[in-house]
Amino acid sequence: MRKKRLLQDGSSLDARIIDHGSFAEHYLTGLAAPGRSAKDSAPRLYAALARWLALHDVEPIQEQIYGLQEAAGEVLAARERAFLKRGLDGSTPFTYIQGRPLEGSEWAGFQLWGVTRGSRKKNAVTSVSWGEHGRARLWKTPGFRLLYVPAVTGRDEHGADSPDPSLQARRMLLKAQAVVRSQGFSYSQVFRTWIYLRRILDWYGSFNEVRNAVYARKDFFGRNARIFPASTGIQGCQKDEECTMNLMAFDSPTARPEPILETPLQGRAFSYSSAFSRGMAVPLGKTTRIYISGTASIDGGGKSVYRGDVQGQTVQTLLSIAAILEKYDGRLEDLCSATLFCANAEVYGGYRRMLKLLGLPEFPVIPMLADVCRPELLLEIEAVASVARTHGKPEAAS
């Protein structure tokens, strides 16, 4: 994996490139300049992104933007202008997640994952439509198909939300199933979900009950009733809905994602009624892509540990992530992209101090203020890593 960091007027653009020979993956993390308005910082940062995409002929697959709702207009306008100037398609699907950026900014930045176009016949990324307004990205190669679906909500056919958050959650999951089916996938091929709950501390328990009930249906996972996607459940929303989700599905005749159900530090999440896996390992050529679920300071029995202790929770969380990577001979240096959710600004400061104190490698991360699923948990990290394949399992040809 090649690494490159571009700095521009206080903003930063971090690139992690994984070369597969016939194509390359690009993980791009853009951090907004601290304390600056979106009107000031977004044009500079998106100009740098658009220049990189055009220079390296990158086709975006997944793009997530984090910031305050009132900054969305400025950010998206800057994105559109920058893409247009470089001849890029600004209509590719993305998700704008409302959240509270750290360090006094109106928006935190973006994460974008894409692939070089290469031969369009062998490595095609296209936008596909679902429903009346929904759009997704479909990546097709001779060896596999990968579908990324952003911004699935529980709105009904008229675009209205139910006042009952549990009903919204049920509709959201059933709609997600219908979307992947419309593109020739089954929900059992969904290997990663990102679920944002606007008031997570008010009804996370009820959400888990809904998800468990829906996932128990035979048309979702069939016989693999306890093999679930890697997932993040965190505070966030697009507008004013109670819940929204993004997801990825993978289909290959020669390989399939491998669930990471437990590690030496953390047991199965289903043991405390949460239907997700600790991570998913996806074989791509000579590498394994590891999607790490939202990870917090939870022990092997599912109990929160180091309550009120930022340093302890930081170390426990990073050790849990390292344990997932170790299964595939990976290290923290192999992280391509990550999101850090902090209960308050002091937590972020404590997190950074611990990284420096322990001499741990810094990896590209978007920091956000957000409630975690339990009030005593101070931070949560989700991540993606790429490691060289050392296991003799089938791989998805590219």
Say which amino acid occupies 74: E
pLDDT digit string (tens) for 200-251? 999 999 999 999 999 999 999 876 666 799 999 999 999 889 999 999 999 9
Q: Is the pLDDT of residue 16 over 60?
A: yes
- Within 8 A by CB and 6+ apart from 377, the residues are 296, 297, 298, 304, 313, 343
* CATH architecture type of domain 1-118: 2-Layer Sandwich (3.30)
Helices 38-56 and 72-85: crossing angle, nearest 10°?
30
User: What is the per-residue pLDDT for 398?
Assistant: 53
- Domain borders along the chain are 1-118
pLDDT at 133: 80
From the list 244, 247, 137, the residue with the least C-alpha distance to 191 is: 247
pLDDT in tens, 138-180: 999 989 999 999 999 998 766 667 789 999 999 999 999 999 9
Q: Are strands 243-251 and 145-153 parallel, antiparallel or unpaired?
A: antiparallel
